[in-house]
């Protein structure tokens, strides 16, 4: 953990009512608990990717969400599966479901998810049960199929009817290679487990708890909430930001947030919830939990006040719960981008060009035999997916989800080697030839967020700006694991005249000599294997330079 200097001013200091509380907040930051959230699948990654490449069925379905490696499988009840990703709930029904005055408690060893509580509520409340009527009970495997563009997809007249979820809470795959269909995949099953859940112990007398939350998963963007409590976001991707108080926090793949939580409720045990949420073809309803405990009695019961549960099982915020607004996470100490026109502007059309091919800019990335960092010795130096920029230049990258893409879902885009300013994002295509032509209503040059991972909206655009002041060969990629290994990346080279000296300084071996296990420097590690793991580990660091 890289910690800021004691002399630095903190964003949360203004929340303190006095000197004592200020010290409590500072102590909470020093004692911050880091939580790595992972979507977990019981199959090995190699097995999953091999099946995807063979069948074309995108593997977005996972078994559970773990916190620091702990968690359990909790299967949804049948009526919720039949209701589909929206759970068959309207805003009015959501409000009705939470309109209860009694506070429930349950043993730590028998902690039902929101899904199970909703099932209990439906059984005991006919109105709730009727409100959760299924949108469809069509068996997805029985859907009429049609073939188009070299792949098999559900026909348009049946897709609207195929809204029921599989046993793990997932929509059936939407695309297959010719000759494959849902029956080509292993039968989907779900079996409840009672594995240990993470318990985060807090000191009630300290007044505050700080958490470093990391989405280090493979395919699932997550939403996070803590029952009965607010979260004060004070850092994003390792940098201090203008604080924002939220009940529900969206964390895209690869993103990191630090939050401060006031321990202002009755001492007890509370659910920290993390849930997937529907996104394009990735439609899974799944919730995991950890427990925040600041009980002074050693009581192992969980307090669940339905009116203070801010999030449903599908990641939807309840009516009274505010969500994070990423565009308002301005750098805390001021870090404005250059306001003059960029020296280099690149337009990338994010595209699924084939059933198992995803690209950032026309061509799928392929791992070179010799790493690009070695310059023109590398077979990747002049590849279509290697782009060169001059040193100390302002570079704008505008990413659009291509109109002709087979899938127009959103993507968490991550750049190595840099932070960047998130100038703006929106729906549709970016309609200008440069950022300079866009109106201030679309582009923020005053106080934009400064991140290393940002969301490209579904069927939308994202504009970022960075300065080429860090010599290297840096990869820009989608953080969805199956997209990056299917080619969704480009390499951005800068300071190429300095690379040779950097390599010599690092005592790097001859790139043509096979490396023994454990001897490779970080930039040589096999991209499709260890570097993905390494990147996840590095993302877990919360650094405040």
- The pLDDT of residue 372 is 95
Query: Taking 60 as the threshold, does the pLDDT of residue 334 lie above it?
Result: yes
pLDDT (0 to 100) of residue 466: 99
Verify that 323 and 363 share a domain, yes or no: no
Q: Inform me whether the pLDDT recorded for 161 exceeds 60.
A: no
> Is residue 237 over pLDDT 90?
yes
| The most confident of 131-135, 145-149, 165-169, by mean pLDDT | 165-169
pLDDT, residue 239, reads 96
Q: Are residues 234 and 278 in the same domain?
A: yes
Tally of residues, the chain: 545
Give the tens place of pLDDT for each residue, 338-352. Answer: 999 999 999 999 999
**235 vs 332: CA distance, rounded Å:** 9
In a domain, 471, yes or no: yes
* 231 has pLDDT over 80: yes
410 within some domain? yes
228-232, 296-300, 354-358: the lowest-pLDDT one: 296-300
Co-location of 65 and 174 in the same domain:
yes
Q: Has residue 55 got a pLDDT over 60?
A: yes
In a domain, 521, yes or no: no
The pLDDT-based confidence of 320 (bands split at 50, 70, 90) is confident
pLDDT value at residue 174: 84
pLDDT above 70: residue 123:
no
Among candidate residues 502, 413, 419, the one with its CA nearest the CA of residue 461: 413
Q: What is the pLDDT confidence band of residue 417, given thresholds at 50, 70 and 90?
A: very high
In a domain, 20, yes or no: yes
pTM: 0.83
**Where does a domain end: 294, 328, 362?**
328
Establish if 482 belongs to a structural domain. yes
Q: What is the predicted pLDDT for the residue at 108?
A: 33
What's the mean pLDDT in 388-392?
A: 97
- In a shared domain, residues 155 and 109: yes
Among candidate residues 295, 328, 361, the one where a domain is terminated: 328
Residue 370 tokens read as 């010799």
Mean pLDDT of the chain: 82
Q: Is residue 230 part of a domain?
A: yes
Pairing relationship of beta strands 64-67 and 301-304 according to DSSP bridges: unpaired
> Strand (E) positions, 108-176?
145-148, 151-154
Question: Which residues are CB-contacts of 20 (< 8 A; sequence separation ≥ 6)?
Answer: none
| Predicted pLDDT of residue 306 | 84
Band the pLDDT of 298: cuts 50, 70, 90: low
Question: What local confidence, expressed as pLDDT, does residue 147 receive?
Answer: 34
In angstroms, the CA 236 to CA 476 distance is: 19
Q: Is residue 311 within 8 Å of residue 321, measured between CB atoms?
A: yes
Q: How far apart are CA 160 and CA 167, in angstroms?
A: 19
State the pLDDT at residue 278: 74
The predicted pLDDT at position 281 comes to 65
Q: Is the pLDDT reported for residue 213 higher than 50? A: yes
Using the predicted structure, report yes or no on whether residue 125 has a pLDDT greater than 50: no
Query: Above 50 in pLDDT, residue 38?
Result: yes
Residues 322 and 420 in one domain: no
Cβ atoms of 467 and 394 closer than 8 Å: yes
> Quick one: average pLDDT of 388-402?
98
pLDDT digits (tens, 9 = 90+) for 241-272: 999 999 999 999 999 999 999 999 999 999 99
Shared domain for 174 and 265, answered yes or no, is yes
CB atoms inside a 10 Å sphere around CB 440: 9
In the predicted model, is pLDDT for residue 121 greater than 70? no
Over 288-339, what HEC string results? EEEEEECCCCCCCEEEECHHHCCECCCCCECCCCCECCHHHCCECCCCCCCC
Q: Which pLDDT band, with edges at 50, 70 and 90, does 1 fall under?
A: low
Which residue(s) pair with 331 in the sheet? 241
**113 confidence band (pLDDT: 50, 70, 90):** very low
Q: Which two tokens stand for residue 119?
A: 């099932």
Mean pLDDT over 400-413 rounds to 93
Per-residue confidence (pLDDT) for residue 508, from 0 to 100: 64
Q: Is 95's pLDDT higher than 70?
A: no
Task: Give the highest mean pLDDT range of 51-55, 121-125, 145-149, 167-171.
Answer: 51-55
Q: How far apart are CA 339 and CA 65, in angstroms?
A: 42
- With 90 as the cut, is the pLDDT of residue 152 above it? no
186-202: average pLDDT: 95
Say yes or no to pLDDT of 332 above 70. yes
Lowest-confidence segment of 31-45, 163-177, 509-523 by average pLDDT: 509-523
Coil, strand or helix: which one is 54? Answer: helix
Q: Across residues 5-21, what is the average pLDDT? A: 94
pLDDT of residue 545: 37
Phi/psi at 448 (5° precision):
-70, 155
**Alpha-carbon span 24 to 4, nearest angstrom:** 17
User: How many separate domains does the chain show?
Assistant: 2
User: Quick one: tokens of 196?
Assistant: 């240990």
Residues 370 and 421 in one domain: yes
Least confident range of 28-42, 105-119, 371-385: 105-119
Could you identify the residue written with the tokens 């009940």? 247
Neighbours of 369 (CB within 10 A): 10
Give residue 513's pLDDT.
Answer: 59
- Domain-embedded: residue 89: yes
Beta strands in 6-123 (DSSP E): 33-40, 64-67, 104-107
Percent of the chain residues topping a pLDDT of 70:
78
* Euclidean distance between CA atoms 317 and 58, whole angstroms: 27
323 and 378 part of one domain:
no
- CA atoms in the 13 A half-sphere facing the CB of 318: 23
pLDDT given for residue 512 in this prediction: 64
Are residue 258 and residue 371 in the same domain, yes or no?
A: no
Asked whether residue 334 is assigned to any structural domain, the reply reads no
Residue 164: pLDDT band by 50, 70, 90 thresholds? confident
111 and 76 in a common domain: yes
Residue of 526 and 223 predicted with greater confidence: 223
Same domain for 230 and 365, yes or no, is no
Query: Is a pLDDT exceeding 50 seen at residue 110?
Result: no
Weakest-pLDDT range from 76-85, 232-241, 304-313, 512-521: 512-521
Whether residues 288 and 354 fall in one domain: no
| CATH number for 45 | 2.60.40.420
What pLDDT band is residue 84 in, cutting at 50, 70 and 90?
confident
Note down the domain range covering 464. Answer: 344-515
Cα–Cα–Cα angle for 318, 66, 227, rounded to 5 degrees: 30
What pLDDT does 316 receive? 87
């Amino acid at each position: 953990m890289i910690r800021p200097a004691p002399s630095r001013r903190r964003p949360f200091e203004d929340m303190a009512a006095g000197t004592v509380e200020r010290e409590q907040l500072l102590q909470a930051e020093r004692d911050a608990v880091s939580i790595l959230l992972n979507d977990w699948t019981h199959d090995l990654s190699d097995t999953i990717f091999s099946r995807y490449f063979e069948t074309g069925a995108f593997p977005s379905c996972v078994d559970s969400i773990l916190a620091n490696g702990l968690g359990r499988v909790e299967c949804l009840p049948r009526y919720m599966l039949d209701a589909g990703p929206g759970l068959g709930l309207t805003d009015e029904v959501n409000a009705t479901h939470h309109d209860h005055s009694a506070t429930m408690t349950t043993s730590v060893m028998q902690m039902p998810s929101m899904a199970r509580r909703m099932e209990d509520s439906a059984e005991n409340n006919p109105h709730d049960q009727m409100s959760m009527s299924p949108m469809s009970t069509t068996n997805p495997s029985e859907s009429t199929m049609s073939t188009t563009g070299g792949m098999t997809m559900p026909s348009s007249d049946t897709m609207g009817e195929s809204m029921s979820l599989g046993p793990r809470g997932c929509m059936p795959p939407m695309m297959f290679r010719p000759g494959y269909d849902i029956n080509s995949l292993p039968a989907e099953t779900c079996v409840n487990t009672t594995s240990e859940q993470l318990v985060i112990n807090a000191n009630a007398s300290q007044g505050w708890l700080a958490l470093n939350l990391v989405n280090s998963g493979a395919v699932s963007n997550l939403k996070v909430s803590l029952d009965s409590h607010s979260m004060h976001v004070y850092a994003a991707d390792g940098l201090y930001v203008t604080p924002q108080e939220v009940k529900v926090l969206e964390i895209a793949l690869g993103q990191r947030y630090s939050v401060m939580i006031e321990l202002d409720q009755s001492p007890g045990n509370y659910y920290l919830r993390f849930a997937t949420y529907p996104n394009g073809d990735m439609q899974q309803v799944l919730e995991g939990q950890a427990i925040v405990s600041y009980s002074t009695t050693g009581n192992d019961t969980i307090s669940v006040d339905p009116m203070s549960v801010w999030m449903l099982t599908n990641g939807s915020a309840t009516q009274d719960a505010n969500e994070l607004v990423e565009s308002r996470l301005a750098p805390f100490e001021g870090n404005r981008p250059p306001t003059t026109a960029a020296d280099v502007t690149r337009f990338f059309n994010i595209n699924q060009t084939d059933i198992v091919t995803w690209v950032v800019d026309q061509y799928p990335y392929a791992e070179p035999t010799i790493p690009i960092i070695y310059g023109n010795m590398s077979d990747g130096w002049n590849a279509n997916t290697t782009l060169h920029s001059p040193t100390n230049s302002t570079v704008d990258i505008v990413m659009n989800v291509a109109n002709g893409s087979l899938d127009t879902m959103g993507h968490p885009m991550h750049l190595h080697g840099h932070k960047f300013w998130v100038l703006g994002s929106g729906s549709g295509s970016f309609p200008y030839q440069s950022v300079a032509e866009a109106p201030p209503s679309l582009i923020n040059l005053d106080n934009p967020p400064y991140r290393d991972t940002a969301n490209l909206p579904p069927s939308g655009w994202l504009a970022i700006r960075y300065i080429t002041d860090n010599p290297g060969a840096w990869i820009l990629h989608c953080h969805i694991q199956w997209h990056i290994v299917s080619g969704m990346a480009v390499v951005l080279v800068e300071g190429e005249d300095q690379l040779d000296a950097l390599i010599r300084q690092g005592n790097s071996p001859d790139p043509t000599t096979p490396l023994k296990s454990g001897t490779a420097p970080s930039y040589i590690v096999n991209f499709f294997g260890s570097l993905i793991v390494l990147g996840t580990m590095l993302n877990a660091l919360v650094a405040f330079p």
